[in-house]
Each structure stands twice: as structure tokens, then as C-alpha cells.
Amino acid sequence: MTTVAAEELDGLLRCLFQAAGSEPAEASCVAAHLVEANLVGHDSHGAIRAPKYVAWVKAGELLPNRHATRVVDAGPLVVVDGGFGYGQVIGAEGMEIATESVRQHGLCLLGIRNSGHLGRIGAWAEALALSGIVSVHFVNTSGYGILVAPHGSAERRLSANPIAAGAPGPNGPLVLDIATSATAEGKIQVARNKGDTLPPGLIIDGAGNDITDPAAFYRDPPGAILPFGGHKGSGLSVFCEILAGSLTGGNASHPENATAWRLVNNMLTLAVDPARLGTTEAFAADVARLVEWVGSARPKQAGTRPLLPGDIERETRGARSRDGIPLDRETCLQLAEAASSLGVSIPHFAQRACRDAQ
């Protein structure tokens, strides 16, 4: 493993995205989002994604310098089309629209369709929570990101379909960010790059056998990810398809979509101003009491404490901001290869990984 300062990693990613065709503001937005994912410990949605984004741009699947375009604007009901641009830009613009609508109407039901990869979905819930807004987000992939076998099957039919929720809390935002699959594909990539095995019960191979080797997931025929909690995760995933895909007009995960050849994210966001349902003070006080009540539970193991949504990310951000972001050698090599292909200077941490691989 190599430890990299957030600023150094951010600088490399900005250069990569600019060299791939993004305007400086877009390159900075996407880079900051990926580095933030690494900082909070969501490495599956961090720098490891950059080489893949660059490859999608080269293939014409991801289009730089696109912006969210309103296609439905009916008061608190808004739908925007991302034009297959970077999801980090489309998501940020969508959250700005949602915030404006909440300020005006007290709530917003926002649909985002035809976006590139939206990145760490918890970031959008966190952004709204920092503005005092409570939100829930449902996401699907209507392009080729179909990875998950429905409960009781051995074949891919669904995407990872994350759900996120956020609320302002007494110690910072409370943020839930989960996939309805047993794991995210990015975590499989991270394990493969590290040479690690996965815990049992997460993935199967192309024949439907339980496996722990992440490399076997990518063999031909490819494997599939299982839903979390059996029928529970599978059922939630189906409703992510309906809410994020069918309802927004971005379509559910099936091969008959016109966009099935590229990776497309769609998201349905419900955002509410708690002050419009009572008083801000009453809401904040009740959430604070809940946080104190949950946190006061007796730990199961000595030296630990009950955790609330967002606690681990806050702690990880503090540690990695201080000590640096750990990157495995394979990820460093992939970043170096992407940089070389775009004529970008390879940073020292990636050069070291290249020398070590020789």
C-alpha cells in the first residue's frame, strides 16, 4: 500500500479529467468528489474510478462538460436530464435545484435521469443535510451496470441500486449510504487490486457457485453479486428500479433500453425542510435526544461504542486527512497508465508503484 496526501491525489485527478476533455471547473468537481470518497473510506467510489471514467470518455459513453437540463418543472416536482455527463456535476446541480425548491415549497421530489456515474450517493444526502434538509435517495443503473442476481437466482438482472438518506444531527449530518446488493462492485475491484479475498456470501461465479475470489467474479461467464438480506435487499432493489428508473423516465435495468450500451445512473430524491412541518428547534431537539439514546446503549464489546449513520465516515475522514489516503499498488498502476495515455505527468507515488511492479 502507498499513502498519498489528499491534495496530491486531487491534483492528479484534476489533470486526468482536464486532459480527457473536461473544463477546469468540471475536472475540479469530479476530482474533489472522488478524493472525498477516499477520505471517508469509500475507496470503491474514489480514485479507483478515475481510469474507468477516462476509458468511458474515450469510448463516447461519458460526455464531458454536460449540465443538468430541466425537462419537468412543476413546482416541487422536478426532473432533470444529465445528458450522459459526469454524475458528480449532474448530482451537484441537482442538489442545488432541490435546495431551491425546498426553500420555496418546503419539499422537492427530484428525478435525475441519463446521468453518468453519480459517485458516492451519501455525498448528496450529506450536502442537503448540511443545509438543514432531510432527504432520501434511490438510485438505479439503466445501462450496462447490471451486476446483481435477484433473490433465488444465479443470473444478473439488477444493478447495485444504492439507497441513501440524510438528516442534520447534533454532531454533524446523519448519513445512511448503502447498496441493496451485498457489496458494491467497486469493493470487488478494490479487493482484486489488493489481492484480497472477499467474505463468503457476497458473490457467485457464472455457474452460480458461492465464491470469495474477486478475480473469479470477472471470468467468462461473469459472476453476480447477491442482494443483501436475501429477499429484503432484492425487494428494495426492485423498487429502486421502479422509483429511480421507471418513474424518472431513465428506465429500469433491462437490455431493451436505448442506453443499455453505456453506464447510466438515475436517481429519485425526496427532500424536505423540517421547519415547514413544525419548528426547526423541535426537530433538532428530538434528533439530538435520539442520537443520545442510541449512543447510550451498552457496547457489545469492551472498548467499542454504538455507531450512528455517518460516524465511521467522519472518523475515517479525520484520520486520512491527517495521515493520507492508502492506495494499493494496482490502483496506482492503473492511475499511472491513465496518466500516460493522456500525456499527464505521472506523480511520484505512481512512479514508485511502477518501479515496484518491474
Runs of H (alpha helix) within 40-86:
50-58
- The pLDDT value recorded for residue 207 is 94
Q: Hey, what CATH class is 67-179+233-296 in?
A: alpha beta
Q: What is the pLDDT of residue 349?
A: 85
According to the model, what pLDDT value does residue 357 have? Answer: 67
pLDDT at 358: 65
Domain ranges of the chain: 1-65+311-358, 67-179+233-296, 183-225
Nine-digit cell at 209?
457457485
Which cell numbers in the block locate residue 166?
440524510
DSSP structure class, residue 298: P
Q: Which of left, alpha, beta for 191 (phi over 0: left; psi -120 to 50: alpha)?
A: alpha
pLDDT averaged over every residue in the chain: 95
Contact status, residue 126 vs residue 175, Cβ threshold 8 Å: yes
Q: Which pTM does this prediction carry?
A: 0.94
Show the low-confidence residues of the chain (pLDDT under 50).
Answer: none
What pLDDT does 97 receive? 98
CATH annotation of 183-225: 3.30.60.50
What CATH number was assigned to the domain covering residues 1-65+311-358? 1.10.1530.10
d(Cα 240, Cα 148) in Å, to the nearest integer? Answer: 13
